[in-house]
């Protein structure tokens, strides 16, 4: 049985560089909804107990951010997976109130696929995928503040190329072919990144997947 509180929520999951953030933002704009963008759960971060949420609070309590990029690929992957599990708990804490506002809610989510199958109708979940190589190679090409901050930290290292190689190895573990295949065969609807498709065309595909009418940008 699907949780009634999530009837008006639309979840987007998938890999990096697939367009999830853009779609969440545009869907909310076009359908007068609420955008729960990447890391929206950070609203709870200041009051979290580090014993209960060690991975999420790791960055909150970090004194030297260079330590973040110096971790081994395996340490980075373990932290990432742990943070995703903790973020799921926080999202499920936030979403009931957000959904109670009565508007459509579009969520760039960390919630696991198995959990989504228990809280949302299948047609309210969309998988967006980019080739794993693209997710790793083009990770720092995006202009968002967090990724550019990490890029600058890497350039400050004594051996920037070695630091970059180490960080990309961690990204490769996270954006693995195995993870890609798990998303691809999850049973949810899938949109694959296509460089020849416009953002507006991708938006139309997302709207169709969610059963929403296509709404073009206002002139």
pLDDT digits (tens, 9 = 90+) for 145-159: 888 999 999 999 999
Which region among 51-65, 69-83, 126-140, 165-179 has the lowest average model confidence (pLDDT)?
A: 126-140
How many CB atoms are located within 10 Å of the residue 140 CB?
17
Are the CB atoms for 31 and 212 separated by under 8 Å?
yes
Classify domain 4-208 at the CATH class level. alpha beta
Query: Looking at residue 145, what is its pLDDT?
Result: 83
- Is 7 or 127 the better-scoring residue by pLDDT? 127
Domain regions of the chain by residue span: 4-208
Q: Is pLDDT of 1 > 50?
A: no
Beta-bridge mates of residue 126: 12, 189
pTM above 0.85, yes or no: yes
Burial of 117 per CB tally in 10 Å (0-12, 13-18, 19+): middle
Q: Is pLDDT of 114 > 70?
A: yes
Query: Looking at residue 29, what is its pLDDT?
Result: 97
Residue 120 has φ and ψ, to the nearest 5°, of -140, 150
């Amino acid at each position: 049985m699907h949780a009634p509180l999530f009837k008006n929520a639309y979840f987007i999951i998938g890999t990096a560089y697939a367009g999830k953030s853009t779609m969440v933002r545009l869907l909310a704009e076009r359908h007068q909804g609420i955008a729960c963008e990447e890391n929206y759960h950070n609203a709870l971060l200041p009051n979290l107990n580090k014993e209960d949420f060690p991975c999420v609070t790791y960055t909150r309590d970090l004194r030297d951010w260079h330590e973040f990029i110096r971790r081994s690929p395996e340490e980075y992957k373990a932290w990432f997976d742990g943070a995703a599990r903790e973020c799921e708990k926080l999202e499920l804490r936030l979403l009931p109130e957000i959904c109670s506002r009565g508007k459509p809610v579009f969520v760039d989510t960390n919630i696991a696929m198995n959990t989504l199958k228990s809280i949302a109708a299948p047609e309210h979940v969309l998988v967006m995928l980019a080739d794993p190589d693209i997710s790793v190679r083009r990770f720092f090409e995006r202009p968002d503040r967090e990724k550019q901050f990490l890029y600058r930290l890497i350039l400050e290292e004594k051996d920037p190329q070695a630091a970059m190689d180490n960080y990309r190895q961690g990204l490769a573990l996270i954006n693995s072919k195995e993870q890609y295949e798990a998303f691809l065969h999850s049973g949810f609807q899938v949109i694959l990144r296509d460089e020849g498709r416009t953002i507006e065309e991708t938006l139309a595909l997302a709207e169709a997947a969610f059963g929403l009418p296509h709404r073009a940008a206002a002139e």
